[in-house]
């Protein structure tokens, strides 16, 4: 397959931590990376043992930087875990309770403003942070504490990883995705990482979103044609849509979305349960309803969903950059059609 790389047309991708980064792994075959902006979800971000961790931004950093562990789609390939393992052996030796340890309620909204409502103790660290990965979080946190914005810090980290597209967080303000379940309210990372998505979901809240602002870089990028990759519509794209002004901006620009479903089947992750819990059909049809501003959809060739907006079908399973390049070229074609 030959693709002509499109130059001179700015395009913006909205990204979570798996589906869209997969699509981006083949984007350079179709788009000039200098023309791409990726807006990363920050609703999954946490402060863990004082370290500010931004998992979706990091997946894009590591993927584009050529160091991502593509078995898991998080962390750095071949990373060691000496500090993480030692945190667990200390906790065990001292008989400390493991599992997510939230800082007390009054410590959730004081101190480092960017960390509001998502602060965990580092005792028996509940997320697996590799040693090289930790150096990224230490640098990010250090720069935030020096007074730089998350946008500026992300730009610095992108330089360190030789990332050739523009990567921006959706906001410099704190937004925390909280999952209300039958077992109580918990941060998305507790629900997904520590509890493996098991407690039944009753509602999803983007705490802080109505007071948070999309940055000027984000609003500027949303004036360009937009691609919503096959990310989780609820927890990866939902926090962006909850920011004031974002849906309006999307309604005013061409938008193409790639479905993370084939009919009612997801490729991976909890999108189905989360869609059902937030009043959407857990399917491509539900994704289309969640994105009323989308002008066209890329669906899998086995997806029989009929939509009233333009649809192009291809094999949307992406297991290699070549697969991703095929999907990206279909996205590009549909984007020119709907523009
Ligand atoms: P998260 O932040 O890790 O939850 O990742 P995202 O929200 O970016 O992506 C999760 C979504 O990616 C899931 O709903 C999957 O169905 C979807 N996904 C994973 N692999 C593929 C793939 O190869 N093709 C497509 N179309 N979707 C995929």
Give residue 83's pLDDT: 98
Give residue 294's pLDDT: 98
Give 103 Cα–ligand 1 centroid separation in angstroms: 31
Give 88 Cα–ligand 1 centroid separation in angstroms: 30
The per-residue pLDDT for range 188-204, each reduced to its tens digit, is 999 999 999 999 999 99
Residue 63 pLDDT > 90:
yes
Mutate to test the pocket of ligand 1, among 72, 189, 238, 260 (most ligand atoms within 8 A of CB): 260
Residue 105 pLDDT > 70:
yes
Give residue 332's pLDDT: 97
Structure confidence at residue 112 as a pLDDT band (50, 70, 90): confident
Domains of the chain: 11-338 (3.40.50.10680)
Mutate to test the pocket of ligand 1, among 15, 197, 236, 269 (most ligand atoms within 8 A of CB): 269
Element (H, E) at 321: helix 321-338
Residue 2 pLDDT > 70:
no
Of all protein residues, the one whose alpha carbon is nearest to atom 6 of ligand 1 is 231
176: which strand partners? Answer: 207
Of all protein residues, the one whose alpha carbon is nearest to atom 25 of ligand 1 is 260
Helix (H, G, I), strand (E, B) or coil at 190: helix
Q: What is the mean pLDDT of the chain?
A: 96
Q: Which residues line ligand 1 (CB under 6 A)?
A: 16-20, 22, 56, 230-232, 236, 258, 260, 266-269, 271, 316-318
The per-residue pLDDT for range 286-310, each reduced to its tens digit, is 999 999 999 999 999 999 999 999 9
Which among 327, 285, 324 is positioned nearest to 306, based on CA atoms? 285
Give residue 79's pLDDT: 98
The per-residue pLDDT for range 213-232, each reduced to its tens digit, is 999 999 999 999 999 999 99
Section 106-113 average pLDDT:
86
User: Helices 131-145 and 55-64: crossing angle, nearest 10°?
Assistant: 120
Total Cβ atoms within 10 A of residue 306: 7
Structure confidence at residue 3 as a pLDDT band (50, 70, 90): low
Give 306 Cα–ligand 1 centroid separation in angstroms: 21
């Amino acid at each position: 397959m030959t693709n002509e790389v499109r130059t001179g047309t700015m395009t913006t991708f909205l990204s979570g931590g798996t589906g869209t980064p997969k699509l981006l792994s083949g984007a350079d075959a179709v788009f000039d990376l200098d023309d791409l902006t990726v807006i990363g979800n920050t609703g999954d971000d946490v402060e863990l043992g004082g370290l500010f961790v931004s998992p979706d931004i990091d997946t894009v950093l590591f993927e584009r930087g050529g160091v991502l562990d593509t078995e898991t789609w998080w962390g750095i390939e071949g990373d060691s875990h000496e500090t993480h393992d030692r945190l667990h052996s200390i906790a065990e030796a001292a008989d400390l309770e493991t599992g997510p340890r939230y800082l007390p309620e009054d410590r959730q909204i004081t101190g480092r403003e960017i960390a509001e409502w998502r602060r965990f103790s580092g005792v028996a660290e509940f997320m697996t942070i590799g040693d090289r990965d930790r150096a990224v979080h230490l640098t990010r946190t250090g720069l935030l504490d020096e007074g730089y914005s998350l946008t500026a810090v992300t730009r610095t980290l992108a330089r360190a990883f030789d990332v050739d597209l523009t990567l921006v967080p959706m906001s410099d303000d704190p937004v925390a995705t909280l999952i209300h379940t039958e077992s109580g309210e918990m941060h998305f990372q507790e629900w997904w990482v520590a509890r493996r998505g098991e407690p039944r979901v009753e509602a999803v809240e983007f705490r802080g979103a109505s007071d948070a602002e999309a940055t000027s870089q984000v609003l500027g990028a949303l004036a360009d044609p937009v691609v919503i990759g096959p990310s989780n519509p609820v927890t990866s794209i939902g926090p962006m849509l909850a920011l004031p002004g974002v849906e309006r901006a999307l309604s005013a620009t061409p938008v193409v979305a790639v479905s993370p479903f084939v009919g009612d089947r997801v490729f991976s992750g909890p999108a189905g349960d989360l869609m059902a819990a937030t009043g959407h059909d857990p399917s491509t049809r539900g994704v289309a309803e969640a994105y009323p501003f989308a002008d066209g959809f890329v669906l899998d060739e086995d997806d029989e969903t009929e939509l009233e907006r333009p649809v192009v079908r291809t094999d949307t399973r992406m297991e290699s950059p070549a697969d991703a390049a095929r999907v990206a070229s279909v996205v590009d074609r549909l984007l020119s059609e709907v523009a």
